[in-house]
């Protein structure tokens, strides 16, 4: 056995623990979910003890299910609003602002990072006190000072509110990633641009953004996948209501599987969502020609 072959085997050996864990906790559950999606398995009733293969029935039902399409649209709006727009814009702005030598910078850093340190459910309850309760809610009291009528924000603008909450929670992650991307941009490039008379706006659009592109798309990929998978925050805040207005796909899968007890159908939705996530990932990585 040559040295190279031996090294190759050693390297493969080192991967074994990770592969075993991935197999046990990712691969086997995923394959099981795909299998379940072709059955009528349930948590209760005759199908719980005698699940049967039903072919594509769950998938056919899914495509005519208004609730599924509603949750898909809500998910896309939620991902676009909170992850692609909200977190990214504020995260980039925070990263750019905190590069400058400003007073109390560590304090600002900590303030932006804090929401990420709070568990999802706790964050949900904090925001319930902000948004729910009509005239007693913190937000109603604040906007009441400028004459806005008190309301239950989770009923009057539920989707907007969960987008705001998730934006608040995710700015830190975007900021950290953008900061690392910005630190990789050579200082000489900025110096040369300034010497050529470029304005701050021109520097941002023609140097900073293009050089940040790989970081931005890495962020988009990770953030989109993470936002699609969010559950605890929305479950605590609205449970998908009112009337399905915030029923993102994770909540919809939970409702089908553990509220309506239809494990087979819930698995079919999960499989479709997996396909959507993979497709979105492929769009980021391939269509935009960024190597991540």
Partner 1 sequence: MTVLRAGVGLIACAAAAAVLISCSGSGTGSRAGADSAASTPTIRIAEHRQPRIDALNKAIPKIEKQLGVVIEVIEYPAPEKDYLSKLLTELGAGNAPDLFTANFDSDVPDMVSAGYLAPMTAEVKAWDGYPQLFDVAKKLSTSADGQIYALDSMLLVQQLYFRRDLLDKAGISTAQPASWKDLLDRAREIKAKTGKYGLLLPAGISWGPGAFNEGFILFAPGSKTPQIVNRDGTLNLNGQGVRDIFRLYKSLIDEELMPVNPLLGPEPWVIPKYVMFPAGDLMATTCGTWCYIYDWGKDSKNPVPDVTKNVGTWAVPGMDGGLSVSISGSNIWAVNAKSAHVDLTKKVLLALCSVEATVAYAGLVGNIPARRDAADNKDFQALTELVPVLRDVDKGTFERSTPGFSVVSEGVARATEALLRKQTDAAGAQAILVKYVKDLLGDNAVK
3-class SS of residue 148? coil
Q: How far apart are CA 276 and CA 62, in angstroms?
A: 14
Q: Buried b / exposed e across 165-178, counting CB within 10 Å, b at 16+?
A: bbbbbbbbbbbbbb
Least distance in angstroms from the C-beta of 108 to partner 1: 34
Q: Considering beta carbons, is residue 11 or 101 the nearer one to partner 1?
A: 11
Residue 73 or 97 with smaller CB distance to partner 1: 73
Give the shortest CB-206-to-partner 1 separation in angstroms.
Answer: 45
What 8-state DSSP symbol labels residue 98?
T
CA proximity to 131, closest of 116, 150, 114, 117: 150
Residue closer to partner 1 by CB (options 43, 207) is: 43
**Which residues of the chain form contacts with partner 1 (CB under 8 A)?**
6-7, 10, 13-14, 17, 40, 42-46, 48-49, 61, 152, 154-155, 238-239, 241-245, 255, 258-262
* CB 132, min distance to partner 1, A: 8
The residue (of 41 and 208) whose beta carbon lies closer to partner 1 is 41
Shortest Å, Cβ 95 to partner 1: 36
- Angstrom distance (rounded) from CA 104 to CA 113: 14
Residues 209, 212: Cα–Cα separation, whole Å: 5
User: Other C-beta atoms within 10 Å of 30: how many?
Assistant: 13
Other CB atoms within 10 Å distance of the CB of residue 189: 13
Q: Pick the closer one to partner 1 by CB: 67 or 226.
A: 67
C-beta closer to partner 1: residue 216 or 253: 253
Residue 39: phi and psi, rounded to 5, are -120, 175
């Amino acid at each position: 056995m040559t040295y190279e072959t031996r090294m190759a085997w050693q390297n493969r050996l080192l991967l074994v623990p990770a592969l075993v864990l991935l197999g046990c906790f990712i691969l086997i559950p995923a394959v099981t979910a795909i299998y379940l999606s072709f059955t009528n398995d349930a948590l209760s009733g005759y199908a719980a003890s005698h699940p049967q293969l039903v072919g594509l029935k769950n998938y056919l039902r899914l495509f005519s299910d208004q609730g599924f399409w509603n949750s898909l649209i809500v998910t896309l709006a939620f991902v676009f609003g909170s992850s692609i727009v909200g977190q990214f814009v504020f995260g980039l702005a925070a990263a750019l602002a905190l590069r400058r030598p400003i007073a109390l910078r560590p304090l600002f850093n900590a303030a932006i990072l804090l929401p990420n340190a709070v568990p999802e459910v706790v964050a949900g309850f904090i925001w319930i006190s902000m948004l729910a309760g009509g005239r007693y809610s913190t937000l109603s009291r604040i906007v009441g000072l400028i004459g806005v009528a008190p309301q239950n924000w989770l009923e009057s603008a539920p989707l907007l509110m969960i987008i705001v909450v998730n934006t608040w929670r995710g700015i830190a992650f975007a900021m950290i990633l953008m900061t690392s991307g910005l630190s990789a941009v050579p200082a000489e490039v900025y110096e040369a641009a300034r010497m050529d008379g470029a304005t701050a706006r021109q520097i941002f659009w023609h140097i900073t953004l293009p050089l940040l592109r790989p970081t931005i798309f890495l962020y988009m990929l990770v953030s989109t996948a993470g936002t699609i998978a969010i559950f605890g925050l929305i479950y605590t805040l609205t449970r998908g209501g009112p009337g399905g207005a915030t029923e993102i796909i994770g909540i919809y899968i939970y409702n089908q599987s553990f509220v309506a007890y239809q494990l087979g159908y819930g698995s079919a939705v999960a499989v479709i969502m997996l396909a959507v996530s993979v497709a979105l990932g492929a769009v980021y990585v391939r269509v935009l020609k960024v190597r991540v």
